[in-house]
């Protein structure tokens, strides 16, 4: 295990170094990519410094494990900058401050709760399809006698009465208010259509997978369309802004009700299976994520959002770094995994988070107690909607009993449980 951790950290170090020169974190909406030879902006320099600090932290972990590489700050001598250049001072420890300096008191309190859970407990969470409101949350309660601590949902993308329909977004928001009043934490994401199409997409009249799922949500943009998308004031960028503005209107209703939201936009964005994902580098997916942040925070002044950055596993070691938008754009670092929750991901996510809370954004079923013993710092997990959280291959009664046993793990916090101090 020790060798595998050393190997994983070494891969992560190389990946972080490879994106060092490409790092960028614009503080304002993206303009046309800079011309060759143009001096980097202060924001770019700040992003590079943040990645350099991450590289140094990886080097320190490798040294502690006896595996730091020579050169680039390892046992071989000079730091990353070469020539024995002095390293910048170590950053101050994370103080659990939101990335949005204007965050509401409720958002600050939620983030403080997450920070305080590290190593003490994990919040249970359950996703619900937007047009089914509380169906899966109630199923959890029926099977276990407990409500999950987190109620999750989605803004949807289809017409009609499909489970993913946008027809009753107002009712989804009303359900969020009810859940919050009952003591739940609210957690939202969005399977958004490509900005090249108008919403809503067409649902399947037979109830199966819709054309809009494969043909839009999971379709790709061409490189030319992507370049237009990330260029301010272009027609495609303006269409994308209208999508953002629609979601912002609903999130504003929750802000007006003093409800904080764990907001997970562009989830699983290292994957190529969603149109927004799988584009590494300076002008790729991370840039669009920063555009989402800038639109929601600086244009719509949504200060009730706790920003959850999310990746997908399994993935090659170090891949997550290629999509990281920078520490100034996320409060929680998370990843989704419907396979084995290997410790490599746990260490990689913690290294990227650098003291910020870490979470399992989506899992197929409730992780076993031994997972939380070996990986105690996950502050929440969420099982997806549709019943996959009930173990398969068993009869209904046995499946419910297995889920009840999983929820009986005292390390897992349900709705209404006291928060460990």
3-state class of 104 per DSSP?
Answer: coil
pLDDT at position 48 is 55
Q: Which of 50-59, 254-263, 356-365 has the lowest mean pLDDT?
A: 50-59
pLDDT at position 23 is 46
- Of residues 17 and 170, the one with the higher pLDDT is 170
CB-CB neighbours of 109 under 10 Å: 11
Q: Establish how many alpha carbons lie within 13 A of residue 295's alpha carbon, considering only the half-sphere containing its beta carbon.
A: 23
* Pick from 212, 211, 185: nearest CA to 415: 185
> Beta strand pairing status for 122-123 and 185-189?
unpaired
> For the segment 32-78, what is each residue's pLDDT rounded down to a tens digit?
444 444 444 555 445 555 555 665 565 555 454 444 443 333 333 33
Mean pLDDT confidence for 75-94: 60
> Beta strand pairing status for 261-263 and 185-189?
parallel
Report pTM: 0.81
> In this model, does residue 381 exceed pLDDT 90?
yes
Contacts 24+ apart (CB under 8 A), 136-141: 136/385, 136/386, 136/387, 136/389, 137/179, 137/184, 139/387, 140/389, 140/403, 140/407
- For 190, which DSSP code? -
CA-to-CA dists, residue 8 to 68, 187, 283, angstroms: 12, 31, 26
Question: From 3.20.20.80, 3.40.190.10, 3.40.640.10, 3.40.50.720, which CATH number describes the 96-413 domain?
Answer: 3.20.20.80
Whether residue 124 contacts residue 381, with contact meaning beta carbons closer than 8 Å, is answered with: yes
* Helices 343-353, 42-64: inter-axial angle, 10-degree rounding: 140
CATH 3.20.20.80: which residues of the chain?
96-413
How far apart CA 304 and CA 306 sit, in angstroms, is 7
> In this model, does residue 164 exceed pLDDT 80?
yes
Element (H, E) at 279: none
> For the segment 8-40, what is each residue's pLDDT rounded down to a tens digit?
555 555 555 554 444 444 444 444 444 444 444
Per DSSP, helices labelled H in 257-337 are: 285-293
CB contact burial 127-145 (16+ within 10 A = b; e otherwise): bbbbbbbbebbebbbebbe
């Amino acid at each position: 295990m020790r060798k595998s951790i050393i190997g994983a950290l070494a891969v992560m170090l190389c990946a972080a170094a490879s994106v060092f020169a490409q790092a960028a974190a614009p503080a304002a909406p993206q303009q046309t990519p800079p011309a060759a030879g143009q001096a980097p902006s202060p924001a770019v320099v700040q992003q590079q410094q943040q990645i350099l600090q991450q590289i140094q932290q990886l080097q320190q972990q490798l040294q502690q494990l006896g595996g730091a590489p020579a050169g680039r700050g390892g046992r071989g001598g000079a730091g990353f900058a070469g020539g024995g250049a002095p390293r910048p001072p170590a950053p101050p420890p994370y103080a659990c401050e939101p990335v949005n300096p204007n965050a509401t008191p409720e958002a600050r309190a939620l983030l403080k709760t997450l920070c305080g859970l590290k190593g003490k407990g994990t919040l249970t969470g359950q996703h619900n399809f937007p047009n089914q409101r509380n169906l899966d949350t109630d199923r959890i309660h029926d099977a276990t006698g407990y409500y999950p601590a987190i109620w999750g949902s989605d803004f949807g993308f289809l017409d009609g009465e499909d489970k993913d329909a946008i027809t009753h977004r107002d009712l989804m928001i009303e359900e969020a208010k009810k859940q919050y009043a009952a003591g739940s934490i609210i957690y939202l994401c969005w399977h958004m259509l490509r900005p090249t199409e108008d919403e809503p997409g067409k649902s399947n009249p037979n109830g199966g997978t819709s054309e809009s799922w494969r043909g839009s949500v999971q379709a790709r943009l061409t490189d030319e369309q992507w370049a237009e998308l990330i260029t301010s004031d272009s027609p495609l960028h303006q269409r994308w802004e209208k999508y953002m503005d629609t979601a912002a209107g609903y999130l504003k209703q929750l802000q007006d009700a003093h409800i904080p939201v764990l907001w997970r936009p562009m989830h699983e964005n290292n994957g190529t299976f969603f149109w927004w994902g799988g584009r590494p580098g300076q002008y790729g997916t991370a840039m669009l994520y920063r555009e989402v942040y800038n639109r929601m925070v600086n244009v719509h002044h949504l200060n009730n959002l706790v920003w959850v950055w999310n990746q997908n596993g399994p993935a090659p070691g170090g891949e997550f770094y290629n999509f990281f938008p920078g520490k100034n754009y996320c409060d929680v670092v998370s990843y989704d995994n419907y396979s084995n929750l290997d410790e490599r991901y746990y260490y990689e996510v913690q290294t990227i988070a650098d003291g910020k809370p870490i979470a399992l954004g989506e899992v197929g079923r409730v992780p076993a107690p031994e997972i939380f013993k070996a990986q105690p710092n996950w502050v929440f997990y969420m099982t997806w909607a549709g019943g996959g959280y009930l173990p398969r291959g068993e009869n209904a009664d046995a499946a419910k009993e297995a889920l009840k046993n999983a929820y009986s793990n005292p390390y897992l916090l349900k709705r209404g449980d006291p928060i460990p101090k």
